[in-house]
Amino acid sequence: MPNIIKDQQISDDSWQVWRDAATLPESGGYIVPLTLWLEHKDSLKALGDIAVFLASDESPKALANDITELNLIAVDFPKFADGRGFSYGRELREQLGYKGELRAIGDFMRDQLYFLSRCGFNSFALENSDLEESLASFKDFSESYQPSIDQRLPLFRRR
């Protein structure tokens, strides 16, 4: 079983990413594409634990009616330079009120963990990284100037 970083700790990952948008998995424990979820929601719910991932060109608003039913939502980063997922994290947390696990998957770097967590992500499926060393990324900065998910007030208001 692979490991992930969740809530700034290394933990086992019982989820698998199902990238096939045309067929349904045979059991639960999968993170499925948004399009598959929208087309086969009832069938997928019957499988048990199912989560959804958003591609970088899919709006989180598509999940507005399902936000309380999903324990995990993942955002897929197709390449590390694509920053739309950061905005999706904030939108899911601030505008849609999502309270569950928000996971970053795909091509993102250890250097982005601090900023992803500021946008509301609390779970990270890092590929090709030493997870123990990656934990240090959450302490890259001791203070943040701007408000975010993890600190609602800007620095000048906290002084």
Tokens 């959804």 correspond to what residue?
52
pLDDT in tens, 100-145: 999 999 999 999 999 999 999 999 999 877 899 999 898 888 877 7
Tokens of 64: 């507005």
Q: What are phi and psi of 64, to 5 degrees?
A: -55, -40
Tens-place pLDDT, residues 63-100:
999 999 999 999 999 987 888 999 999 999 999 999 99
Average pLDDT over every residue of 9-22: 94
Strand ordering across the sheet containing 123-124: 9-12, 3-6, 123-124, 101-106, 72-77, 50-54, 30-33, 16-17
| Predicted local distance difference test score (pLDDT) of residue 1 | 64
Of the candidates 89, 108, 35, 44, the one whose C-alpha atom is nearest the C-alpha of residue 70 is 44
User: pTM for this one?
Assistant: 0.91
pLDDT at 127: 83
Give me the pLDDT at residue 114, please. 94
If one looks up domain 3-158 in CATH, what number appears?
3.20.20.70
Using alpha carbons, list the distances in angstroms from residue 47 to 24, 118, 121, 127. 10, 33, 26, 27
**Residues 36-60: pLDDT tens digits?**
999 999 999 999 999 999 999 999 9
| Length of the chain, in residues | 159
Q: Per-domain residue ranges for the chain? A: 3-158
